[in-house]
Amino acid sequence: MRLALGLAWLAFVIANTSASAKESCAASGTPMSRTSMEQSLHQRGYTDIRGLSLHNGCYEAKGFDSKGKRFELELDAATGAVHNAE
């Protein structure tokens, strides 16, 4: 019984840790301008950007890449580094 409870608690902690990591960016400096972020995305092949919003130190970008595939990215606002991709 203790083992089952311990494993359930561990699974809960792991699930909540990974969920909170996806939701936050620790921007390491001044956020890039929207124009600079769009240019950075275009250079990486994301050609049709339909949405770009700044929240909690992250840019959230949505749209389509050069092959027509839908994308949704969470990017560090200061560096443009991808934190997660869908």
Q: In a 10 Å sphere around its CB, with 0-12 CB exposed, 13-18 middle and 19+ buried, how is residue 65 labelled?
A: middle
User: Quick one: which of 64, 57, 55, 85 has its CA closest to 73?
Assistant: 85
Predicted pLDDT of residue 4: 44
* Total domains in the fold of the chain: 1
User: Quick one: which of 54, 51, 53, 55 has its CA closest to 63?
Assistant: 51
pTM of the model: 0.66
| pLDDT exceeds 90 at position 19 | no
Between 44 and 3, name the one with better pLDDT. Answer: 44
For residue range 45-75, list pLDDT tens digits in order: 999 999 999 988 899 999 999 899 999 999 9
* Residue matched to tokens 């990017």: 75
Query: Residue 64's domain spans which residues?
Result: 2-85
CA 72 to chain centre: 8
Neighbours of 75 (CB within 10 A): 24
Predicted pLDDT of residue 2: 55
Predicted pLDDT of residue 84: 81
CATH number assigned to the domain comprising residue 29:
3.10.450
